[in-house]
């Protein structure tokens, strides 16, 4: 009966092949219509344009140098110096190798060289392959032609465009950033092409192949600069060939026909297999083959789902539809009729295996209806049988004393109790028949003694359990005054747990409050420029605005977007600093010169802020082992903070002095408004002195300064005396011992 059911299900599936093939054909046709071939062509064109640009730039650099240059020599100009320096250190010249530090990020200069040269060879190969369909000219900023792959570039790139042709003009500025100057051609293709090329504005091929960490080695990709490129091409040359002329395995799986037939036929067969063991006269599910345990059955079911779900049986449908099986059989010399019969039997065999395996697993699972759930779990699951074995072993081996937490002298106490009981029993045994009455009396006395002791232990246990329940319900102020005797160590541990819970709860409450404030502040600071950007974008969309208004709106948009960028960069910087993931490059730095450099950089803002800065800096150098870039950021943040929040018309002081091997920098100013928060809160993230948050700023300046100071083994102290705001920075001078 089981064989007939499985065979019938397999036969139905084979007979459903025309339905599956028809669904696959419809899916294939619909898919091909939905694919945007033009979009794919533009994507391919953008990639090949970049390959052509890099190869053209390499050829230009070779022309200028008058020799053959490797890709790494052209695009990584700093690399040869790094490799030479590393070689000198290896030869014992005493130079400190930067390779060791660079290896920390998982790269080496040799690896960079190999990657760049390999990438350059790929660009050269693709540029040659597409040279016939990608005419270009490269000009300098003045318009002089530097390189081209057509004979008369000026005439070629001035002629009219064809139906599907695109003329693309790109500019690389002095920093290497790419700008799309113009795109000519059909409107739809023009817009998509421009958007695709914009993705390469700040593109770094090495970062895409390795990661941005490669720059820590002091080597940075250097592409085309101060040149223009013009390309004129036909999108038809970049269209992908139709690789799905007929329905393939993808279509059989994606169309749903294959899964639909398997789910319907297999689902009906599985329901029958689950129900058959419940019909006791049939006796199904009682044989040895049907006593498959639950765990291996789950494993087989997972394998079955993976195989059938991945569409492996659909390969037979595909091979049958394409006539592959028939062709192979006929080429083997079989008659056409015999080949068709063998093809049919092969398909039937595949589905008999698929449905037979499923039927066997469902039949074994159906035993739960005949045995009942509990009996099925006990008899057909390895897990429960193992648990029952462990339970029997534990009950047999353990005794009640294992449940008691005895003190260190428990062995001695038990020995005394056993010895006393031995003496009593020995004396009673000497009384002959009177010993029976003595045994009764002894048992009664022993019963009441043990009962009394048990009651005492039970009361102490209830006290302990009640305290635990109160703590579980959130009452962390519960106190246990009673002496718990044997449970006294547990009471002491419970007190420690309670204190730990209270501390954790307090920390969690503070953390949640900080998170709420952080989210509120971030939302406010990011929403303000974002709202302005949205507003002015909508204004730009209004019809009839003048060119002057448009320029004004664009200026505001630029200002607000730069503001938004600065906020995000500050947030990213303080997050890195807080997590300790900032890499500090410590070296001897003249702190006096650094402060003067910051003062010079901010001189215009200082002059216009209305605050009179008084500088007290020594004439001689003060050397400290610091990261110059991060320290510059510290003083920049602190000085900008003074310019924002100091009272106009007052004086601000910046003093640098040396104290007992330390260099101390003090900054003081008078606050324009009353500061109602503590110094500690001011140095938290997103906290400002003006609670209305009307001033420009992210609230991260002091937090960043404090983090960078501490990462350089310094200290930053902030104090308030009325409206006097004072910041004191302290670092150990170079050469001083800790």
Closest listed residue to residue 19, CA positions, set 188, 264, 308: 264
- Whether 284 and 272 have beta carbons less than 8 Å apart is answered as no
CA-CA distances (angstroms) from residue 308 to 222, 305, 344, 529?
51, 5, 20, 54
Q: Which phi and psi angles does 136 have, rounded to 5°?
A: -150, 165
Rounded distance between C-alpha atoms, residue 186 and residue 161, angstroms: 10
Give the mean pLDDT of 326-354: 84
Helix (H, G, I), strand (E, B) or coil at 319: helix
Pairing state of beta strands 612-616 and 623-626? unpaired
Query: pLDDT at residue 738 above 50?
Result: no
Q: Of 228-232, 313-317, 626-630, 694-698, which one has max mean pLDDT?
A: 228-232
Rounded distance between C-alpha atoms, residue 709 and residue 686, angstroms: 18
Based on C-alpha coordinates, what's the Rg of the chain?
42
- How large is the greatest C-alpha to C-alpha distance in the chain, in angstroms? 136
475-479, 507-511, 520-524: the lowest-pLDDT one:
520-524
Confidence (pTM):
0.34
CA-CA distances (angstroms) from residue 239 to 39, 53, 164, 200, 574?
9, 21, 12, 21, 47
Give the mean pLDDT of 455-460: 78
CA atoms within 13 A on the CB side of 221: 25
pLDDT at position 692 is 46
CA-CA distances (angstroms) from residue 249 to 256, 314, 372?
12, 7, 43
Q: Who has greater pLDDT, 70 or 573?
A: 70
- Residue-wise pLDDT for 405-430, tens only, equals 444 555 665 666 677 677 777 777 77
Q: Is the dihedral of CA 221, 224, 229, 231 positive or negative?
A: negative
E strand residue ranges, 110-152: 136-140, 145-148
Rounded distance between C-alpha atoms, residue 437 and residue 179, angstroms: 111
Question: 479: alpha, beta or left, given left = phi > 0 and alpha = psi -120 to 50?
Answer: beta
pLDDT-derived band at 280 (thresholds 50, 70, 90) equals low
- Residue-wise pLDDT for 613-646, tens only, equals 999 999 999 999 998 888 988 898 899 989 988 9
Query: pLDDT at residue 319 above 60?
Result: yes
Rounded distance between C-alpha atoms, residue 289 and residue 162, angstroms: 73
Rounded distance between C-alpha atoms, residue 59 and residue 61, angstroms: 6
Cα 419 from chain centroid? 68
Helix (H, G, I), strand (E, B) or coil at 510: helix
Give the mean pLDDT of 146-173: 88
Rounded distance between C-alpha atoms, residue 441 and residue 311, angstroms: 82
- How far the first Cα of the chain sits from its last, in Å, is 89
Quickly count: other Cβ atoms within 10 Å of residue 385's Cβ: 14
Rounded distance between C-alpha atoms, residue 480 and residue 463, angstroms: 8
pLDDT-derived band at 654 (thresholds 50, 70, 90) equals very high
Rounded distance between C-alpha atoms, residue 513 and residue 519, angstroms: 10
270-284, 350-364, 669-683: the lowest-pLDDT one:
270-284
Q: Who has greater pLDDT, 281 or 121?
A: 121
- Whether 204 and 221 have beta carbons less than 8 Å apart is answered as yes
Helix (H, G, I), strand (E, B) or coil at 656: strand
Query: pLDDT at residue 473 above 70?
Result: yes
Query: pLDDT at residue 281 above 70?
Result: no
Helix (H) and strand (E) counts in the chain? 28, 12
What structural domains does the chain harbor? 2-31+256-368 (no CATH), 36-238 (no CATH), 585-732 (3.30.565.10)
Give the mean pLDDT of 101-108: 59
Question: 664: alpha, beta or left, given left = phi > 0 and alpha = psi -120 to 50?
Answer: beta
- Residue-wise pLDDT for 43-94, tens only, equals 888 888 999 999 999 999 999 989 988 998 999 888 888 777 765 555 555 4
138-145 contact pairs (CB < 8 A, 24+): 138/56, 138/57, 138/60, 138/227, 138/228, 138/229, 139/227, 139/228, 139/230, 140/226, 140/227, 140/228, 141/226, 141/227, 141/228, 143/228
- Residue-wise pLDDT for 580-615, tens only, equals 666 788 899 999 999 999 999 889 889 988 999 999
Q: Who has greater pLDDT, 603 or 272?
A: 603
Rounded distance between C-alpha atoms, residue 457 and residue 459, angstroms: 5
pLDDT at position 296 is 80
- Residue-wise pLDDT for 676-713, tens only, equals 777 777 766 444 444 444 445 556 778 888 888 888 88
- Whether 606 and 713 have beta carbons less than 8 Å apart is answered as no
pLDDT at position 670 is 93
Mean pLDDT of the chain: 78
Pairing state of beta strands 651-659 and 612-616? parallel
CA-CA distances (angstroms) from residue 549 to 532, 545, 554?
15, 6, 9
Q: Of 102-111, 335-344, 404-413, 516-525, which one has max mean pLDDT?
A: 335-344
% of the chain beyond a pLDDT of 90: 16
Helix (H, G, I), strand (E, B) or coil at 404: coil
Burial 526-548 (b: 16+ CB within 10 A, else e): bebbbebbeebeeeeeeeeeeee
Token reading at 189: 């293709």
**Residue 486, exposed/middle/buried by CB under 10 A (0-12, 13-18, 19+)?**
middle
Rounded distance between C-alpha atoms, residue 335 and residue 328, angstroms: 12
Token reading at 611: 């605050």
**Residue 429, exposed/middle/buried by CB under 10 A (0-12, 13-18, 19+)?**
exposed
E strand residue ranges, 565-639: 587-590, 612-616, 623-626
CA atoms within 13 A on the CB side of 113: 14
Q: Who has greater pLDDT, 490 or 90?
A: 490
Sheet holding 612-616, edge to edge: 612-616, 651-659, 662-670, 724-732, 715-721
Question: 182: alpha, beta or left, given left = phi > 0 and alpha = psi -120 to 50?
Answer: beta
Q: Which phi and psi angles does 415 have, rounded to 5°?
A: -60, -40
pLDDT-derived band at 238 (thresholds 50, 70, 90) equals confident
Cα 94 from chain centroid? 42
Q: Is the dihedral of CA 484, 490, 496, 498 positive or negative?
A: negative
Give the mean pLDDT of 233-242: 71
Cα 276 from chain centroid? 50
Token reading at 633: 């950021």
Pairing state of beta strands 724-732 and 662-670? antiparallel
- Whether 294 and 382 have beta carbons less than 8 Å apart is answered as yes
DSSP string covering 492-550: HHHHHHHHHHHHHHHHHHHHHHHHHHHHHHHHHHHHHHHHHHHHHHHHHHSTT--HHHH
């Amino acid at each position: 009966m089981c064989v007939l059911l499985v065979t019938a299900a397999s036969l139905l599936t084979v007979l459903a092949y025309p339905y599956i093939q028809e669904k696959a054909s419809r899916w294939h046709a619909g898919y091909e219509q939905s694919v945007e071939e033009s979009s794919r062509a533009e994507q391919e064109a953008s990639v090949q344009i970049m390959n052509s640009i890099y190869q053209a730039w390499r050829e230009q650099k070779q022309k200028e140098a008058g020799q053959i240059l490797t890709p790494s020599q052209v695009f990584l100009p700093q690399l040869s110096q790094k490799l030479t320096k590393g070689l000198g250190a290896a030869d014992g010249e005493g130079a400190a190798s930067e390779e060791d530090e660079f290896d920390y990020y998982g790269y080496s200069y040799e690896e960079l060289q190999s990657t760049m040269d390999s990438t350059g060879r790929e660009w050269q190969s693709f540029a040659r392959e597409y040279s016939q369909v990608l005419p270009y000219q490269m000009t300098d900023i003045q318009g002089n032609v530097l390189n081209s792959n057509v004979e008369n570039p000026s005439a070629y790139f001035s002629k009219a465009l064809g139906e599907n042709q695109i003329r693309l003009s790109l500019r690389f500025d002095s920093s290497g950033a790419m700008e799309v100057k113009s795109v000519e051609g059909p409107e739809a293709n023009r817009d998509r092409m421009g958007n695709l090329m914009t993705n390469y504005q700040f593109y770094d091929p090495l970062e895409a192949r390795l990661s941005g960490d490669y720059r820590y080695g002091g080597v940075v990709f250097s592409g085309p600069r101060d040149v223009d490129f013009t390309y004129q091409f036909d999108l038809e040359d970049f269209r992908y060939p139709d690789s799905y002329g007929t329905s393939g395995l993808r279509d059989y799986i994606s169309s749903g026909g294959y899964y639909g037939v398997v789910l319907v036929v297999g689902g009906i067969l599985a329901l029958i297999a689950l129900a058959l063991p419940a019909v006791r006269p049939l006796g199904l599910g009682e044989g040895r083959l049907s006593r498959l345990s639950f765990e291996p059955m789950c494993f087989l079911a997972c394998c079955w789902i993976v195989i059938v779900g991945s569409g492996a049986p659909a390969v037979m449908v595909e091979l049958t539809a394409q006539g592959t099986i028939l062709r192979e059989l006929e080429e083997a010399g079989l008659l056409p009729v015999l080949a068709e019969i063998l093809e049919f039997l092969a398909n039937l065999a595949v589905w008999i295996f698929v449905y037979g395996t499923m039927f066997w697993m469902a039949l074994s699972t159906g035993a739960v209806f005949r045995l009942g759930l509990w009996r099925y779990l006990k008899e057909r699951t390895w897990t429960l049988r193992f648990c029952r074995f462990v339970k029997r072993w534990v009950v047999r081996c353990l005794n009640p004393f294992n449940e008691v937490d005895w003190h260190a002298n428990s062995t001695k106490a038990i020995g005394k109790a056993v010895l006393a009981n031995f003496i009593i029993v020995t004396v009673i045994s000497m009384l002959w028949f009177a010993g029976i009455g003595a045994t009764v009396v002894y048992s009664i006395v022993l019963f009441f003694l043990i009962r009394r002791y048990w009651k005492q232990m039970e009361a102490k246990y209830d006290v302990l359990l009640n305290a635990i329940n109160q703590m579980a319900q959130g009452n962390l102020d519960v106190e246990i005054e009673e002496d718990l005797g044997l449970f006294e160590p547990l009471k002491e541990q419970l007190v420690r747990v309670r204190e730990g819970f209270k501390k954790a709860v307090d920390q969690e409450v503070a953390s949640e409050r900080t998170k709420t404030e952080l989210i509120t502040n971030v939302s406010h600071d990011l929403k303000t420029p974002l709202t302005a950007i949205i507003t002015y974008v909508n204004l730009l969309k209004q019809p009839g605005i003048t060119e002057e208004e448009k320029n004004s709106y664009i200026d505001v948009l630029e200002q607000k977007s730069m503001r938004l960028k600065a906020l995000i960069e500050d947030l990213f910087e303080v997050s890195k600093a807080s997590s300790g993931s900032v890499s500090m490059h410590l070296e001897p730095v003249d702190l006096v010169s650094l402060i003067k450099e910051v003062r010079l950089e901010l001189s215009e803002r200082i002059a216009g802020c209305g605050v009179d800065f008084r500088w007290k800096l020594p004439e001689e150098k003060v050397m400290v082992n610091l990261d110059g870039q991060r320290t510059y950021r510290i003083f920049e943040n602190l000085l900008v903070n003074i310019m924002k929040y100091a009272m106009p018309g007052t004086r601000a002081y910046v003093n640098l002095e040396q104290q007992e091997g330390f260099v101390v920098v003090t900054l003081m100013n008078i606050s324009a408004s009353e500061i109602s928060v503590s110094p500690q809160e001011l140095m938290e993230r997103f906290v400002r002195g003006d609670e209305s948050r009307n001033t420009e700023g992210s609230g991260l300046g002091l937090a960043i300064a404090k983090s960078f100071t501490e990462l350089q083994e310094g200290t930053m102290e902030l104090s308030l005396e009325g409206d006097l705001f004072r910041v004191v920075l302290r670092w150990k001078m170079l050469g001083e011992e800790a």
